[in-house]
Structure 1
Amino acid sequence: MQVRIARIFNTYGPRMCIDDGRVVSNFVAQALRKEPLTVYGDGKQTRSFQYVSDLVEGLMRLMEGDHVGPFNLGNPGEFTMLELAQVVQEVIDPNAKIEFRPNTEDDPHKRRPDISKAKELLGWEPVVSLRKGLPHMVSDFRQRIFGDQKDSDAASSKSSA
């Protein structure tokens, strides 16, 4: 048995824990609940975000291939925390407020994976952009936070018929 090693970078998508403390789920849950989006520091620190299906594809290629790694699996496209908050605003609520709070001491300024080894040896790179993947996560969070209004409306109209 050979061990394979993957370094997994920020991943988002449906079925994440709503209150897991990760920035994407925090912003989505805050915007849906009409709470201010909390940005720490000046919001210029960067992160990269990969959609869950991209991660799964990368892991499958790693497990089915001949290379053991380590491989960075993440999206090299960078967003500042402020840009991420603005994308969440665009998708959920353009009137959502952004609230700045003091930054933590240990917050890295930049976090971006070098995926050149995964591209070269696994033929893998992420294909789902943040703007394409985020609405799927938002829809899932909305349903879990508020319940599916369509299903409950349909059920109530059937029971009254």
Structure 2
Amino acid sequence: MKKIVLIFFLSFLTAGVFAQEQGEARLMAGGDYRLTIKDLGTFIGVEYFFADRFSLAPTFTVWFPEIGNSFNLNADLKYYLTEGVSQVYLLAGYSNYWINTQPGDPGLLQTRPGGNLGVGAYLAATEKFGFITEVKMQSQNTRWPVLRVGAVLNLN
């Protein structure tokens, strides 16, 4: 199963590298907030447009729990419903969550793979800079809703 997930993720990344040459690319960074358990995190990611209205957006989130540490890797496929200054999109993708509930770094690291499903919006402030907001459900962790707010830099 781990090999299948790794091949799936590498295929997305490879497609994204070629898409960067073919279309638009964006860098994203900001904050994530788990609405149910009130947990904060910070994320960084890249978005590649590989076809008209379709993009692939891998992101990595570092969470800041009270005890231990946790990380989240997402590979989301986005479909944009609108164009222009305000762009609304639907997203679906793969998510892998790592958690260590022990104080500090030692302890047992647990892996929880799952999926994402959500909706978001991109708001262009200038030609090169904008903002995103997303609300998505992650299937692992008892379907916690996650609110994402961030800044976006257009690379093209």
- Higher helix proportion (structure 1 or 2): 1
Q: Do both share a fold (TM > 0.5)? A: no
User: Which structure has more RCO (C-alpha within 8 Å, separation ≥ 6)?
Assistant: 1
Task: Provide the TM-score with structure 1 as the length reference.
Answer: 0.26
- Higher strand proportion (structure 1 or 2): 2
Larger Rg: 1
